[in-house]
Amino acid sequence: MSRASTTTLALVYIFVTLAGSCSRATGGALQEAFYKGKCRTADVEVVVGGVIRAWFSRDPTIAAALLRMQFHDCFVNGCDASILLDGKNTEKTAVPNLSVRGYEIIDAAKAVVDSICPGVVSCADIIVMATRDAVALSGGGRYIVQTGRRDGTVSLAKNVNLPAPSITVSDSIKAFSKKGLDSTDMVYLLGGHTVGIAHCSLFRDRLYNFQNTGKADPTMDSTLLNTLKARCPQNSTVDNTVNLDQNPLSSMTVDNSYYRQIILHRGILQIDQELALDPLTNPTVTAIAKGFNFSTGFGQAMVKLGAVEVLTGTQGEIRRSCRAIN
């Protein structure tokens, strides 16, 4: 969710063109340590990790920003960095993506990597590596990512069709299934809401006119309801924000606190609360909330997300600038 934008870095790009076709792969060509031996003596993941640590030290909220960026990229045309492309009608301009941030972070990592081995590392892989590093720095555990993606050349706002905050659990399961992700993956990936924020406009209906009843959502904890009404007045022209994880001690930590909160009827978005209420997902939510292996499950789900409809081999290209096709 949107927070104050981070400082833009001045970047110099080294131009090397590696163009190809734009057909889609299944993700089978991805592999761990794909760049080993391909960037002189440098370890690409260590290089990217150093950039992310520097940004995180100034702004820990980049974890939520990068998680959102990866999800929004992978869910539209697959994990091909199409969300990074600038233009009048690119994915960036679609309403759900207007509050996506973190582009400068990807630019910074790309510039450092390309200063060592230009034209080798894709922007799509940088998104995945950067997100993993930000999650680890936020206490979420360090999962092993697969790399070898190529960058896409198509980015259209009209292709952006992301699950809405008010989507039903069954419809959400169908949407994730179309991407090769099962209901357990979905529950873990929505656990990314353990960090980040939501604008009042995304859940105000739950406070004042739930499903056109003229009343609040009866499933919401009464104390939380009063707190949110104070933060989000019914007719306010200011679109305030609240933490998606309502545990103040954990709202900046990638952990299972989000699941414990929704079990207590303290979910912010409708889909968050429905995860805990719907019999299709309640058992998974309960198991994660009571368990101790959230980091493992979350990492596995992120790896599966990162393999959605990827370009590999000679497909796509390695962009010179993450913001433009070659």
Is 23 annotated as belonging to a binding site? no
Q: Say if residues 119 and 14 touch (Cβ distance below 8 Å).
A: yes
CA distance 216 to 222: 10
Is 265 annotated as belonging to a binding site? no
Is 100 annotated as belonging to a binding site? no
Instruction: Give Cβ neighbours of residue 207 (< 8 Å, ≥ 6 apart).
Output: 216, 217, 220, 225, 228, 229, 232, 234
Is 45 annotated as belonging to a binding site? no
Is 8 annotated as belonging to a binding site? no
CA distance 116 to 179: 35
Is 163 annotated as belonging to a binding site? yes
Q: Say if residues 126 and 112 touch (Cβ distance below 8 Å).
A: no
Is 245 annotated as belonging to a binding site? yes
In the chain, the amino acid numbered 323 is: R
Structure tokens at 108: 């910074």
Is 182 annotated as belonging to a binding site? no
Looking at 35, 68, 72, 151, which residue is catalytic?
72
Residue given tokens 């030290």 in the structure block = 57
CA distance 6 to 72: 19
Residue given tokens 């198509």 in the structure block = 154
Is 321 annotated as belonging to a binding site? no
Radius of gyration of the chain (CA): 20
Range 66-86 burial, b when 16+ CB lie within 10 A, else e: bbbbbbbbbbbbbbbbbbbbe
Is 265 in the active site? no
- The annotation places the binding site for substrate at 163
Q: Mind telling me the catalytic residues? A: 72
- The annotation places the binding site for heme b at 193
- The annotation places the binding site at 73, 76, 78, 80, 82, 91, 163, 193-194, 245, 255
- The annotation places the binding site for Ca(2+) at 73, 76, 78, 80, 82, 91, 194, 245, 255
